[in-house]
Amino acid sequence: MINSVGFLPSAPLLVGDLAAGAASELDGLRAQCERVLGDVLTAAVDSVVLISSGRLTGWLPEDAKGSLRGFGVDVRAGLGVSTDGSREVLECGHVVGAWMLDRHGYRGRRHALVVADGAGVAAGELLGDVAGSCALLVMGDGSARLSVKAPGYFDPGAQAFDNEVRHALSSGDPRVLAKVDPGAARVQIASGYDGWQAVASAVIGEGRSTWRARCHYEAPYGVGYFAASWT
């Protein structure tokens, strides 16, 4: 059963050691991410499922780990308390999420689900395999085209797309989240889209309707970052 859902940015820059001189610019967003974790990691949660985009949809090994060395700093995090000797197969979003859990002090059981492009609904069906009460942490971002310095350069439809996502996350209604435009998500290079669809599919499948929602949004580098919780 899905007990709670957190929607978090997948940006490696949230890791302070990697952000270096720009670290303080994201302090507010880090604080909001901590607030989301505080919302969703309740005593009723038996495990956490980290959801992030990747090449092939499916579950990763329970001893999986990963590193952000490709972004300049060898920050490591994984699904187990210790990552020694485990397999380095986590996607970037999973690593950032696991790092956030470590920073928050969460030591419970973790799972990692990869959602491939266009496979949100299929991935949502896999969430029914998780036993007990779980919290979902969806790692992904909104538009990457909010400014001329953004990774995807500026697109005039970027802010409208992020506003649509912000409305959906603030509503706490999975049916609204399920209706986010997939074509616009691809144009805006929104890395969170398929993970959001997996959550919407899974929550609707459990017969859950509206949740109590909280949503924070900012776009400091031309990329839309959401820190939201459904409880």
Q: What is the CATH number of the domain that holds 197?
A: 3.40.830.10
Single pTM value for the model: 0.94
Output DSSP code: residue 88. Answer: B
pLDDT tens digits along 118-161: 999 999 999 998 989 999 999 999 999 999 999 999 999 999 99
22 has a pLDDT exceeding 70: no
pLDDT in tens, 199-229: 999 999 988 777 999 999 999 999 999 999 9
Number of separate domains in the chain: 1
**Do 4 and 136 form a contact (C-beta atoms < 8 A)?**
yes
At residue 220, the 3 state secondary structure works out as coil
Helix (H, G, I), strand (E, B) or coil at 91: coil
Provide the residue range defining the domain that includes 174: 2-230
For 51, counting Cβ atoms within 10 Å of its Cβ (0-12 exposed, 13-18 middle, 19+ buried), the class is: buried
- For 11, the 3-state DSSP assignment is coil
Measured in whole angstroms, the distance separating CA 126 from the mean position of its chain's CA atoms is 17
Strand blocks (E) in the chain: 2-8, 47-53, 58-59, 65-67, 76-78, 109-115, 134-139, 213-218, 225-230
